Chains A and B, each alone.
Chain A
């Protein structure tokens, strides 16, 4: 049998774990084997010597720390470990117990005070919007339709029994002949980077912004038109005094007769917002502890803080809040962090920022029809920062 050792090159020896281990003195059991090989193939001596000198050069790089310093670090470590150990048992138990009680309490409170209904249950049973890259329409019969266009156009026809997507395909909303007991929900899921426009069975219109979900029965229920929104949507409600139009979000419940308004309720933002463009809406908080029927006038914005459970009513310029429909994003006295979140949602790109810059309040106008580079440049200018792109992530830092 031929010996593979004869074919070794510098490279292949460097790659050979056994040989390297032997050179490094970690494999004494191979001592005999290799000295035998070297005797057998004296012509390999030059190569072997080169490899040994490469390995010894590569493993030369060793920082030495004085022993006294090592001892200091070790003693401090043992001290800290002891201090850590002594406290716990009871303290740690109490900590966990407290967390458990509080979270159990919150869950109980939420279940007791928020009128959970079929919507939440349905939402929980379907995947969140961020997991797909395409806009999705899920019909009452369970059929899922993927829509590949940037701005999906979804129109309900024939009193909500049929739906048309992007002016072409038509789908039956429900399976035929099924007895109707509970309402069956339809859902539109708009991923990051997309938008969608929906004409509902009652011919009300909804624009959905990137990263949003809208759930509604089709046809609507007998005595109301109730929808559930996560994310941002602008609604133009068709008048129908007998059937109030109700939009529920995680925290809010907005009831309208015939009007237009914008709602923003992203799970990852600290507030939910409703802005009224026309007409009159009444707004309520879903948590019964904070029941407070507010009549919102045109050009008013209601902001509800999820954490503080407080709300604020302000006069605003409505256009600033609905300009996203036309691909414009206008903000005033907004923290950079929220602006970056929205840009990141809109273009479906990951953006990170230093805390310092994220806290900064900025004002400006972004044309989202631009490609994202233009928008990032404008943002850097407005915030007096700079950005860099690395591994598909955008990093914002203060200008140096």
Chain B
């Protein structure tokens, strides 16, 4: 599936720096969906997300030197995308503000609803997911998303959210307590829903 195999990304990066131009393309296709999904959490405008991914890779293609210095490729790519999208959004709103990574909107639940496919199982899962995310604050949402959807660890989450590592742990911990609660009610709801289906 999607998720980042960090070492894999590092290997691809190294191959690319040593002159294997295909390696970056492989990395691009591998990371795209996951990166794209993350991007759509900051704006419903898909064009901005696509353009920002393109800009990000134009940048990576342009400077092997910069990429060579990056220690954690996956983390670098995700953080850069977030930065590029927020910058573009600020530009569109004529905000004179600097990009503030620690205070971004995170639109999980709404984008989930849009992606509902006509399939009962996915449907109920999406409903459950919205239910779970609805109870969380925007930072909690992003932290949970980064941890369970993208597979980032606490120091990486802390860096992307521009908070300290201890806060990222607390954030995830608080969110997990809430998730557990809504998951309990959610799965009960789920069961009722399924029973009704089989009953009719």
Known: A73-B50, A393-B97. A63 touches B40 (CB 8 A): yes
Say yes or no for A352: interface residue by CB 8 A criterion. Answer: yes
Of B36, B37, B148, most buried by chain A (CB within 10 Å of CB) is B148
Question: How many of chain B's residues have a CB under 8 angstroms from any CB in A?
Answer: 52
Contacts of B29 in A (CB 8 A): 70, 74
The CA of A17 and the CA of B165, in the complex, are separated in Å by 14
The CA of A352 and the CA of B97, in the complex, are separated in Å by 7
Shortest distance in angstroms between A378's beta carbon and chain B's nearest beta carbon?
Answer: 21
Known: A63-B33, A73-B53, A78-B61. A24 touches B151 (CB 8 A): yes
Question: How many of chain A's residues have a CB under 8 angstroms from any CB in B?
Answer: 43
Q: Is the CB of B148 within 8 A of A20?
A: yes
Of A15, A26, A65, A352, most buried by chain B (CB within 10 Å of CB) is A65
Q: Is the CB of B96 within 8 A of A353?
A: yes
The B128-166 residues at the A interface (CB cut-off 8 A) are 128-129, 132, 144-145, 147-149, 151, 153
Known: A21-B151, A57-B128, A81-B62. A355 touches B36 (CB 8 A): no
Q: Is the CB of B144 within 8 A of A81?
A: no
Say yes or no for A77: interface residue by CB 8 A criterion. Answer: yes
Chain A interface SS verdict (over half): helix
Shortest distance in angstroms between B56's beta carbon and chain A's nearest beta carbon?
Answer: 8
Output the nearest chain B residue to A391 by Cβ-Cβ distance.
Answer: B103
Q: Is the CB of A11 within 8 A of B177?
A: yes
Of B33, B94, B122, most buried by chain A (CB within 10 Å of CB) is B94
Shortest distance in angstroms between B188's beta carbon and chain A's nearest beta carbon?
Answer: 12
Q: Is the CB of B125 within 8 A of A65?
A: no
Contacts of A85 in B (CB 8 A): 62
Say yes or no for A14: interface residue by CB 8 A criterion. Answer: yes
Say yes or no for A169: interface residue by CB 8 A criterion. Answer: no
Q: Is the CB of B3 within 8 A of A65?
A: no
Contacts of A11 in B (CB 8 A): 173, 176-177, 180
Q: Is the CB of B61 within 8 A of A77?
A: yes
Contacts of A391 in B (CB 8 A): 100, 103
Say yes or no for A90: interface residue by CB 8 A criterion. Answer: no
CB contact between A65 and one of B36, B100, B151, B177 (< 8 Å): that residue: B36
Say yes or no for A61: interface residue by CB 8 A criterion. Answer: yes
Say yes or no for B83: interface residue by CB 8 A criterion. Answer: no
Q: Is the CB of A57 within 8 A of B151?
A: no
Output the nearest chain B residue to A23 by Cβ-Cβ distance.
Answer: B148
Shortest distance in angstroms between B12's beta carbon and chain A's nearest beta carbon?
Answer: 14
Interface string of A345-369 (1 = CB under 8 A from B): 0000000111110100000000000
The A73-118 residues at the B interface (CB cut-off 8 A) are 73-74, 76-78, 80-81, 84-85
Say yes or no for A54: interface residue by CB 8 A criterion. Answer: yes
The A15-52 residues at the B interface (CB cut-off 8 A) are 15, 17, 20-21, 24-26, 50
Shortest distance in angstroms between A187's beta carbon and chain B's nearest beta carbon?
Answer: 31
Q: Is the CB of A57 within 8 A of B125?
A: yes
The CA of A59 and the CA of B2, in the complex, are separated in Å by 9
Output the nearest chain A residue to B5 by Cβ-Cβ distance.
Answer: A26
Q: Which of B65-73, B108-116, B192-200 contacts A (4 or more CB under 8 A)?
A: B108-116
Shortest distance in angstroms between A81's beta carbon and chain B's nearest beta carbon?
Answer: 4
Shortest distance in angstroms between A38's beta carbon and chain B's nearest beta carbon?
Answer: 20
Known: A21-B151, A58-B132, A74-B25. A63 touches B36 (CB 8 A): yes
The CA of A73 and the CA of B100, in the complex, are separated in Å by 27
Say yes or no for A122: interface residue by CB 8 A criterion. Answer: no
Contacts of A70 in B (CB 8 A): 28-29, 32
The CA of A162 and the CA of B172, in the complex, are separated in Å by 60
Say yes or no for A64: interface residue by CB 8 A criterion. Answer: yes
Say yes or no for B80: interface residue by CB 8 A criterion. Answer: no
The CA of A58 and the CA of B133, in the complex, are separated in Å by 9
Q: Is the CB of A61 within 8 A of B129?
A: yes
Say yes or no for A389: interface residue by CB 8 A criterion. Answer: no
The CA of A353 and the CA of B112, in the complex, are separated in Å by 33
Say yes or no for A181: interface residue by CB 8 A criterion. Answer: no
The CA of A78 and the CA of B147, in the complex, are separated in Å by 31
Known: A55-B148, A63-B33. 11 other contacts (CB 8 A): A54-B179, A54-B183, A58-B145, A62-B2, A62-B34, A65-B32, A65-B33, A77-B58, A81-B57, A81-B61, A395-B95
Can you pick out 11 interface pairs between chain A and chain B where the beta carbons lie within 8 Å of each other? Answer: A11-B173, A14-B176, A53-B187, A57-B128, A59-B3, A61-B115, A63-B33, A63-B36, A74-B28, A81-B62, A354-B94
Interface residues of chain A, those whose CB is within 8 Å of chain B, are 10-11, 14-15, 17, 20-21, 24-26, 50, 53-55, 57-65, 69-70, 73-74, 76-78, 80-81, 84-85, 352-356, 358, 391, 393, 395
